[in-house]
Structure 1
């Protein structure tokens, strides 16, 4: 924002006239001498008022320049416009004062009493206008408080912010040199650091060329980006070590899953021999799927190892995450076959335990639904009654020579889940009511 500041010739021009005196003169005593003294006193008072106004205007001009250097908001623009208007008013009263001083030579020997009286009146009036202008200036200055505080705060931040940005850039450069010395390339970090070079150049050019707000924003941005590079560079050796550990760990896990996958086929054979098709048909593809997952994991491990050697860290991390997901899926599938056989063996030997476990859950929920009530809420009673009927149907399905034990287990588990939802709903409603 361009600010047309007022020239300051007034004080220099006015003071010699305001305080001029000396020389020899003849005094005629009496009323004339008294009027001359009163006029001189008025002149001195007006000169003092003019000096105080000039000083206040100079101080306020510094404040306005501080605001302009930092702030380009509409509020700051209004402050500049208002200051210029006050400046024009100060020009007017200053001209009135200077004219009054120039109009009367109070040192003349033949100064008439009427002239001295007129001079006193004009000078007293000029002083009043100067005092009024200074009052307006002081009130305006008080209103600048928030804008000036904001501007001074930003200016106080400027040098420390720029210096912190420079120091952080230096720290990032040193950290990058250290990891390169350890044999790590860190090309991506080097490119990010190099991209900050033009920004550092602009910081060095200073706020005079780019403005205080933009320089502060640039310093903050350089600080943030350089700090990120520094932190990543310092973590890079640990990242490399962690990548190496994960490569070894996932390789070992893949080998272990290869061994475990070989145990699925005997489990499926026993399931086929002892239980109905419905109990094991969804597990038919587990051996093939496990083998395929392990094969894909081995391929991805090889790619991850290559990325590690080339120090493509994001690629290595992504590939290792893929390997982990494949091995997790394989682990779950292989475990599911063994768990299925174990659960079917247990329930086929003693189905009563599963039945009682489910009935206990239903009864417990029914007691909770009836607590403090003569009749339960229908939204609670209905799903519990349906759960009783569903359990009875599941128990009835066990009759016959070859019951579907897996269907029985999935039904009892579904009943318990329904009951658990009803219990949660009751407790939540009663908790809200409390």
Structure 2
């Protein structure tokens, strides 16, 4: 594009025009400086200003790098604190030491940057180009070091992801767990209040709930004081124990009714056993009259033992009734269990006498039925032992052969004038038990094969 030729102007005229234009301009520029108390910057040419501008740009870049590194360090410190609040493992402790080492590098890089900034006043008058160039070099070096440390810090932060994720997960569980514990305690307290309004006492449950008060205090003090893992464990334990108190409190009316029912039932059973135990003596008399001493001598103390057991049961029943009236529920329950055990053993002893007479009558009348029953069990086991074999396994054949001989000896005891029918019955029962063990062994081995 061609330029339009300018008309020639005399140099003296030009100077006059510039003078007229410059005077007002200089006056305008001088006014703010005069009010500010400063002077004007002298003009040293393009090279000095260019170096100053480059140095200022380097300073701005270094400041930005310093700010980014400082921000990243602050953010990462929060992550480290999150991890250490939850995790006390060797890996977590190593993270703390590695972060401390990075912190020392950050301090060194930051000090290098601050020193470079403080060493050079880029705004002063008469800034030489060489000074500006040196300042730029130092600021660029400081910025590069800040950037390198920032990159190392970023890589370190990425390596923390697994530990940080685990810690954040536990922290996310913390508040709900603590809240569940508080709600469980409140529900347990409300359940106890409801039970007491119904007229029932629950002193043991109240004591258990009161014992949780210090735990609630620690929960309220927070994980910052007691640690996240400990606080989580405490919250879960409080929730479980409070829930147990609540469940027992809600069941207390049913438990009271159940204890009342058991008191009546066991009292009735004790009375019935008293009547039955009185019938043992006539049974023993018949056993003594019709059978040898070996058939009944182990039963001769049953009447006395039964009477004593019933007396003990009745005494425990009275204690259980007193515990129920005092609403000492665990004591009442324990005493009733003792009563039940006493009555069970008495029932067995009393029943044994009548059962003995019945079995002896049966075998005296027809011993062959017992013999045939036992022989059938032996033959059945022998057939099983020989199934699929030409010769029996000695481990099974020997006890079966011994059982045959033992049965024969038991049958022989019936030939005397006063046969020991009870010995005969116990022997045949023992033979059948031996045979049953052999059968079970055979089936187990073949089933495993």
Higher mean displacement: 103-112 or 392-401? 103-112
Aligned length: 410
Match of 1:378 among 374, 394, 409: 394
Alignment of 1:148-167 (within 5 A): 148-167=164-183
Asked whether 1:93 is paired with 2:109, we answer: yes
In the alignment, which residue of structure 1 is the partner of 2:279? Answer: 263
Distance 2:214 2:50 in 1: 75
Gaps of 5+ in 2: 1-39
Residue 334 (structure 1) shift: 1.4
What CA deviation, in whole Å up to 9, does each residue of 1:403-431 have, x standing for no partner?
Answer: 22111111111111111111111222222
Residue 281 (structure 1) shift: 1.6
Higher mean displacement: 199-208 or 260-269? 199-208
In the alignment, which residue of structure 1 is the partner of 2:139? Answer: 123
Distance 1:377 1:314 in 2: 57
What CA deviation, in whole Å up to 9, does each residue of 1:307-365 have, x standing for no partner?
Answer: 11111112111111111111111111111111111111222222222111111111111
Distance 2:76 2:387 in 1: 78
Distance 1:27 1:349 in 2: 143
Asked whether 1:367 is paired with 2:415, we answer: no
Residue 265 (structure 1) shift: 2.1
Residue 212 (structure 1) shift: 3.9
Distance 1:161 1:225 in 2: 14
Match of 1:324 among 331, 340, 349: 340
Contact 1:32 1:113 survives alignment (8 Å): yes
Distance 1:394 1:216 in 2: 70
Higher mean displacement: 234-243 or 41-50? 41-50
What CA deviation, in whole Å up to 9, does each residue of 1:374-402 have, x standing for no partner?
Answer: 21121111111111111111112221333
Q: 1:73 to 1:342 in 2, by over 3 A?
A: same
In the alignment, which residue of structure 2 is the partner of 1:419? Answer: 435
Please tell me the root mean square deviation across aligned C-alpha atoms, in Å. 2.5
Match of 1:299 among 307, 315, 320: 315
Question: What SS class does the counterpart of residue 114 from structure 2 fall into?
Answer: helix
Contact 1:290 1:330 survives alignment (8 Å): yes
Match of 2:190 among 174, 178, 201: 174
Asked whether 1:234 is paired with 2:238, we answer: no
Q: 1:25 to 1:193 in 2, by over 3 A?
A: farther
TM (normalized to structure 1)? Answer: 0.86
In the alignment, which residue of structure 2 is the partner of 1:9? Answer: none
TM (normalized to structure 2)? Answer: 0.84
Question: What SS class does the counterpart of residue 398 from structure 1 fall into?
Answer: helix
Q: 1:346 to 1:148 in 2, by over 3 A?
A: same
Distance 2:347 2:62 in 1: 98
In the alignment, which residue of structure 1 is the partner of 2:10? Answer: none
Distance 2:436 2:223 in 1: 66
Distance 1:209 1:405 in 2: 79
Residue 133 (structure 1) shift: 0.4
Match of 1:78 among 90, 94, 104: 94
Match of 1:344 among 336, 360, 367: 360
Match of 1:252 among 248, 257, 268: 268
What CA deviation, in whole Å up to 9, does each residue of 1:250-284 have, x standing for no partner?
Answer: 11111111222222222222222222221122111
Alignment of 1:274-313 (within 5 A): 274-313=290-329
Distance 1:313 1:151 in 2: 45
Higher mean displacement: 41-50 or 249-258? 41-50
